[in-house]
Structure 1
Amino acid sequence: MIRAILRAAGFDPRRFPTAVSGWQRFTRDRERYRGMPGADAIPLGDDLPMLTEFGESSGHLGAYFFQDLQVAKWILTDQPQRHVDVGSRLDGFIGHLAVFREVDVLDIRPQPVAVPNVRFHQVDLSAELPPEWIACTDSLSCLHTIEHFGLGRYGDDIDPLGHLKGLEQLKRMVKPGGRFYLSTPIGPERVEFNAHRIFAASTVTGWFRDGWQIERFAVVDDATRLHPEVDWQSEAARNHHGCQAGVGILCAIRTSP
């Protein structure tokens, strides 16, 4: 419990030894800098120590990174008339889409910053879907979001069935013939309250058994490797494509009227 509170406050005990070592290096480097020719060319301001980045890689390429690239590529290929997103990362996936097209973004949380090519709408999908959003688009995305519905993490009401209710609302937004791009954690099924749910791969594909046709399925595995095309009906699906906490990414076409 204490570790969780510290992490929420921005303190990660696992990084403390690295920070101590980083402070020692910071103080040595600062003194060296001050003693070198040219150090007085630009006045020194207040110190702003960066203590944990000396040995890190050039960028953290996590599951979100590969998920966002994969789905943005699909949408660029599919070229829908309209694209609507619910709850995906504005500073990741939505930023990718906004480079080449307009996007309507729905989220339960406010967004006070205007972004070019992005039209923001504050909508709570746990409430009744407003009429203007019913069958409103031929292309809908909801990435790494459905697993949070009903857990209260983002200010939503607590509801153990929130993900299923939210899913039905999302499906209603897609026109017949339209595509729904969905991603969510996959692995042995469980709730890690109140962070997220992790679903069995068969659960995710089962959501699209009636009135939908799964067109594509991709996986980001536990080692953060992207598998852009997997057989979602294969034997590997029984073992969640080898994932304990990976990401399943699908594109499904609505076939029902």
Structure 2
Amino acid sequence: YTPLDPTYFFQDSWAAKHLFHLKPEHHYDVGSSAKTMGILSQFVPITMVDIRPIELKLDNLYFKEGSILALPFEDNSIETLSSLCVVEHIGLGRYGDELDQFGSEKAIKELKRVLKIGGIILFSVPVDTDNKIYFNAHRAFTRNYILELFNDFRVLDEKYHYGTKVFDSYDSSMGFGTGLYMLKRVK
């Protein structure tokens, strides 16, 4: 069989489907896979923000060096935004960022700041039975906690990846998985 990480396979396919249907004039991404954004940039121009510079050049893919904790954009300025499996790492020091027990929450606050009212975010994060930290890796959250952090957003789509399957609803009894959220800012 072909070696494949099911998390990124499902997540990236899900994001591509939504971005294709949204058809924004320009899309912005914070910290997601450069490989994924490179592929998606072939049908929509994308500006990526990351603390790690990208040395490669590709038509329709633009790069800004920056932090998810201080995005280089004005308030309410972005129509479509993505951040796929990123915020769970913020504040743990794994990527050179400072230790901060509220790093994930601060990152979400910053993503919300730059998104226009009516704007769409494609967002993914590990989910689990409780909010947890996996040592030297990432955090995981409950569905309710994530949706509380996005309380001024409406859920347009949500999927949950557990093992090798994708489900339409969160099931905490399944333990660790990945939540995929398409959210619209309503206020």
The two structures have a TM-score, normalised by structure 2, of 0.92
- Residues 61 and 165 of structure 1, relative CA distance in 2, 3 Å threshold: closer
Gaps of at least 5 residues in structure 2 are none
**1:244-255 maps to which residues of 2 (within 5 A)?**
244-255=175-186
**1:1-257 maps to which residues of 2 (within 5 A)?**
57-91=1-35, 93-127=36-70, 129-130=71-72, 132-188=73-129, 189-209=131-151, 211-221=152-162, 223-227=163-167, 230-231=168-169, 237=170, 239-240=171-172, 242-256=173-187
The separation in 2 between residues aligned to 1:125 and 1:187, in whole angstroms, is 23
- Number of residue pairs matched by the alignment: 186
The separation in 2 between residues aligned to 1:255 and 1:134, in whole angstroms, is 15
CA deviation map 1:82-114 (0-9, x unaligned): 2100000012x2133122111000001121221
Q: Any conservation in 1 of the 2:26–2:44 contact (CA below 8 Å)? A: no
Higher-RCO chain (CA-CA 8 Å, sequence separation at least 6): 2
* Offset, 1:61: 4.2
- Structure with more helix by fraction: 1
- Residues 243 and 87 of structure 1, relative CA distance in 2, 3 Å threshold: farther
Give secondary structure in 1 for the equivalent of 2:8: helix
- Residues 81 and 224 of structure 1, relative CA distance in 2, 3 Å threshold: same
The two structures have a TM-score, normalised by structure 1, of 0.68
The separation in 1 between residues aligned to 2:113 and 2:26, in whole angstroms, is 15
Q: Any conservation in 2 of the 1:143–1:182 contact (CA below 8 Å)? A: yes
Moved over 4 A (4+): none
Look up the equivalent residue of 2:57 and give its one-letter code: A
Q: Any conservation in 2 of the 1:85–1:106 contact (CA below 8 Å)? A: yes
Look up the equivalent residue of 1:118 and give its one-letter code: L
Q: Any conservation in 1 of the 2:30–2:68 contact (CA below 8 Å)? A: no
Larger radius of gyration: 1
Gaps of at least 5 residues in structure 1 are 1-56, 232-236
Look up the equivalent residue of 2:147 and give its one-letter code: T
- Structure with more strand by fraction: 2
Q: Any conservation in 2 of the 1:148–1:197 contact (CA below 8 Å)? A: yes
The separation in 2 between residues aligned to 1:169 and 1:215, in whole angstroms, is 21
Percent of pairs with identical residues: 32
